[in-house]
Structure 1
Amino acid sequence: MPDRSGAPGPARDFRLFLGSHLFNETGAAAVQVVLPLTAVLVLDASAWEVGLLQAANHAAYLVLGLPAGAWVGRMRPRRVMIGADLVRFAALAALPAAWACGLLSLPLLCLAALLLGAAQLFGDIADHTYLPQLRSGAGLVAGNSGLQAVRSGAELGGPGLGGLCVQWLGGLAALAANAAAPAVSAVLLCRIATPDARPEPPEGGLAAQVGQGVAFLLRHRVLRVLALSAGLNNLVFSAFFALEVVFLTRVVGVSAGAVGVLTASGAAGALLGAWAAPRLGRALGAARTAVLAVPAAAPFMLLFPLTGAGWRVALFAVANVAVGAGVTVFNVMQVSYRQQVCPAGLLSRVSALFRFAVWGVAPLGALAGGALAEVLGVRPALWVLAAALAAVAPLPALSPLRRMRDFDDGEDGRGRGS
């Protein structure tokens, strides 16, 4: 068993782990701007086509989300993360080559987005499984907060970097720069000295393993509420993400560089949320913090459709900061709790189920956002989405969580369907 007490070796390995995520998440955040900007500015894609592109990016969560956890559970998680980085590198490196040869098209962008989404799915499940091998006990919440802070910092710089690269250097340079990020991430992961724990031999076939994870989640009265709440919230957010680039470029009329800066403002909120999460958890209780986080941020969604030219552009950034902070606080609480209560042999499968619940709905949300914009217009669609989040965000407050200060108040959360 590796020493996770904070000795120099484990501390160095955790820094390498965070460093790999810094490069990886920066590139991934930039891609979230570069791909739709390329589609809109180079291929003249419509709101519906941008929705299709966003749906392709998350389709793996819907198609592979359930079995992915069982597959990852059979492998060493660090090797899965390295493999995911190499897939990202190949998918991104192919786009500048296709552009240079005059072969870039919307179907090719969708194919790249599909591969990037699949790599993200497996990489995320693996890193949630691997982190408890580097940090344990009280250090796990701090480790998740640190990891979220790195991700948020990357998201803060990534979209702006991507948007500015498209504006100043063109999409070819932006895509090439993004291909380098997962390559560096893979190198840093290879330098980690703490060995992956060898997975236990699986019991039963793939379907049986998936069924064990599903049964555990459905019996757990806390985790099932958290999964449902996270899924409904992300259904709304995915519809919004599908429209934000089209809204800012065609409705508000800002430049590509400004699109990157404005979309990156959500990461500033996420950094704030990562800093505040452990403090709010100690002051209010982890369960109470998770219940209140997204409902407190939901009213700020109304500022998105109010965004306009001139000073009203700032409303987009204010809303993005507030929503990013609320969602991050919720995520830090629920991920830390999940890592603490799930048996080691089930963690990858339960993490995959959460990914399926949260990101499996993303293609549906993206398509719904594109369809709403086509029927109602982009700005009216944003009003509908703001109302939708206000309706679904309070769900945890209607569950047994409303009576808890901390997740483990009086019980382990495993009921018999109550």
Structure 2
Amino acid sequence: MPSVPFAVPDSGRPVPPSLWRDRDFRRLWVGQTASQLGEHTTLVVLPLFAVLTLDAGAGQLGVLRAVGQTPVLLLALVVGAWVDRWRTRTVMVLTDIGRTLALGAAAMAGLFGWLGLPALFVVAFAVGALSVFFDVAYQACLVRLVKREQLVRGNSALEGSRSAAQIGGPALGGALVALLSAPTAAATSALFFGLSFLSIRRIRRIESIPEHSERPSRLGRRIHEGLRFVVGDPWLRAVCLASAAFQFSFAAVMTVYLLFLPRELHLSGTAVGLALAATGPGALLGSMLAARLPSRFGHGTVLVSAAVLGDGVFLCVPALGGSPAVTVPVLLLAGFVFGTGSQLVTVTVMAVRQAVTPNGMQGRAAATITFVGMGLAPFGSLLGGFLAQEWGLRTSLLVTAAGMMLSPVLMAFSPLGRLGRKLPASHDDVS
């Protein structure tokens, strides 16, 4: 689970200039920022276009979101094994080109009136599939670009860029769909991916890809190695379980939420975008806090407390009603709290994962955890759409929000909940 918070985990002071002066790290950061901004804009543009323009029902919205999330289930493990053997710069550049073309084609189709639900399904799947490649690659790229002791700092910087995208992306996407058109919004997202391409392609450092034997192991064997490594590690196993519980429930929550805001609270597309964007400033705060709280109070304490606070705030949303002048400020506060808690969890968990994972297993470990966690998201989206149809929006939102509380419970009763102020030691390197 905002401006640029470069912070040292044990002091909260700005990151030493050595990291920011690294041109290749800076190019990665710029590309990641642009890519995440395009991705978060797209995540709002496509559902809002379906709901506000095509009058999609709850079931159709659930299917649309599930289609965009299915590539994680289908591709994550294969991508992880593949990325470990290739230069991450090449992978990210190619995926940026692909997403630019996909959204550019959607914009053109929309201008000619051809952008219906079937076309949205195709675009959502294509962007989702390419994003799987990019997300696994950039996580592995960081490990190859910076030293181990800079991982938390680097993650804080990259997660800060994602938080910046959470501020601008939803608000921009909602405003463009409401004030202009879906094709214009799609074209804007395509431009962001194009900017990411231009930045990342300028990375010049030659990556130290882990050495392999003369005869590369088969893809299935490499996937099995990644699965076995994650399952055999108590910290990573706990991360998988907690992530799966959260992503399943959160996907259901967001499907209902995207219907609840315009249809139950009668908010405009712009107001919906602002409500979703409120997670961004909270994520900025969470990113900065993640650089100092774990070393002060312990990683386990921070993980569980942040998850309870961030996930639990959604339990209050179903009670909202009345004038937008009242509901919108409350939604902004709820989004801010959720963003703070979820970002604390995201940065801390990523640092734990990278600390215990050897360089040669980074891509497969990230992909395995993504597969287990995000792989359940399509089913959560479908469940959210089904519940909204059968039970109504308020009841469905309350039930799915309650399901999110399973994640902090699983962390509390796992080795993650007992982690102290120091990160666990790394395993021996593997090929």
TM bucket normalised to smaller: over 0.9
Cα distance in 1 between the residues matched to 2:19 and 2:380:
44
| Partner in structure 1 of residue 392 of structure 2 | 377
Distance in 2, Cα, partners of 1:386 & 1:172: 32
Does the Cα contact within 8 Å between 1:288 and 1:406 map onto a contact in 2? no
Counterpart selection for 1:60 from 68, 71, 90: 71
* Cα 1:242–1:289 shift into 2, 3 Å: same
Which residues of 2 match residues 90-109 of structure 1 at below 5 A?
90-109=101-120
Query: 5 Å matches for 1:22-37?
Result: 22-37=33-48
1:206 partnered with 2:207: no
Shift of 1:196: 2.5
Which whole-Å CA distance do the structure 2 matches of 1:346 and 1:318 have between them?
Answer: 39
1:218 aligns with 2:231: yes
Query: After TM superposition, what 4+ stretches of structure 1 lie above 6 angstroms from structure 2?
Result: 411-414
Q: Does 1:315 align with 2:334?
A: no
| CA gap 1:11/1:274 in 2 versus in 1, 3 angstroms | same
Contact preservation (8 Å) 1:372, 1:381: yes
Distance 1:321 1:240 in 2: 16
The answer for the alignment partner of 1:117 in structure 2 is 128
Task: State the distance in 2 between where 1:175 and 1:358 align.
Answer: 27
- C-alpha deviation, 1:390, in angstroms: 2.4
1:353 is aligned to 2:361: no
In 2, Cα distance between the equivalents of 1:111 and 1:20?
25
Deviation readout 1:347-395 (Å, 9 max, x if unpaired): 1001001111121111011001101101101111011012212234211
Counterpart residue number, 1:331: 346
Give the TM-score, by structure 1 length.
Answer: 0.93
2:80 aligned partner: 69
C-alpha contact 2:295 2:422 (8 A) present in aligned 1: no
Tell me the equivalent position of 2:171: 160
Unmatched 5+ stretches in structure 1? none
Q: Whole-Å Cα distance in 2 between the matches of residues 14 and 276 of structure 1?
A: 22
Q: Check whether the contact 2:28–2:199 (CA below 8 A) recurs between aligned residues.
A: yes
Q: 1:119 to 1:397 in 2, by over 3 A?
A: same
In the TM superposition, what are the counterparts of 1:12-411 in structure 2 within 5 Å? 12-201=23-212, 203-310=216-323, 311-406=326-421, 408=423
The answer as to whether partners of 2:51 and 2:61 remain within 8 angstroms in 1 is: yes
Q: Secondary structure at the match of 1:288?
A: helix
Which secondary structure does the structure 2 equivalent of 1:103 belong to? Answer: coil
| Bigger mean CA deviation after superposition, 227-236 or 387-396 | 387-396
Unmatched 5+ stretches in structure 2? 1-15
Whether the 8 Å CA contact 1:72–1:80 is kept in 2: the answer is: yes
Contact 2:352 2:423 in 1 (8 A): no
Partner SS, residue 222 of structure 1: helix
Contact 1:303–1:315 at 8 Å: present in 2 too? no
On the 8 A contact 2:303/2:417 being kept in 1, the answer is: no
3-state SS in 2 of match to 1:313: helix
Quick one: structure 1 residues 8 and 69, their matched pair in 2 at CA, closer, same or farther if it must change by over 3 Å?
A: closer
Indicate how the Cα distance of structure 1 residues 136 and 309 shifts in structure 2: closer, same or farther if over 3 A, else same: farther
- Counterpart residue type for residue 265 of structure 1: A
Shift of residue 68, structure 1, vs aligned partner: 1.4
Structure 2: distance between partners of 1:35 and 1:350: 30
CA distance in 1, matches of 2:166, 2:158: 12
SS in 1 for 2:292: helix
Mapped to 1, the partners of 2:369 and 2:252 lie a distance apart of 19
Shift of 1:184: 1.0
Q: SS where residue 420 of structure 2 aligns?
A: coil
Moved more, 11-20 or 196-205: 196-205
Residue deviations 1:109-140, cap 9 Å, x none?
A: 01101011111111010000000122223321
CA RMSD across the alignment: 1.9
1:128-165 deviation line (CA, Å, top 9, x unaligned):
00001222233210110111111101110111111111
Report the residue type matching 2:154 in the other structure: G
Distance 1:393 1:320 in 2: 18
1:228-280 CA-to-partner distances (Å, cap 9, x unmatched) read 10111111111112122211111110111111111111122111111110111
* Cα deviation 1:74-96 (Å, max 9, x = unaligned): 21111101111111111101111
Deviations 1:10-65 (A, max 9, x none): 62221211111221111111111111111112211111111111101110011112
How high is the sequence identity, in percent, across the aligned residues?
Answer: 34
Q: Which moved more, 1:273-282 or 1:303-312?
A: 303-312
- The residue matched to 2:212 in structure 1 has which SS? coil
Residues 274 and 328 in structure 1, CA contact (< 8 A), matched pair in contact too? yes
Name the SS of the counterpart of 1:191 in structure 2.
coil
Amino acid at match of 2:360: G
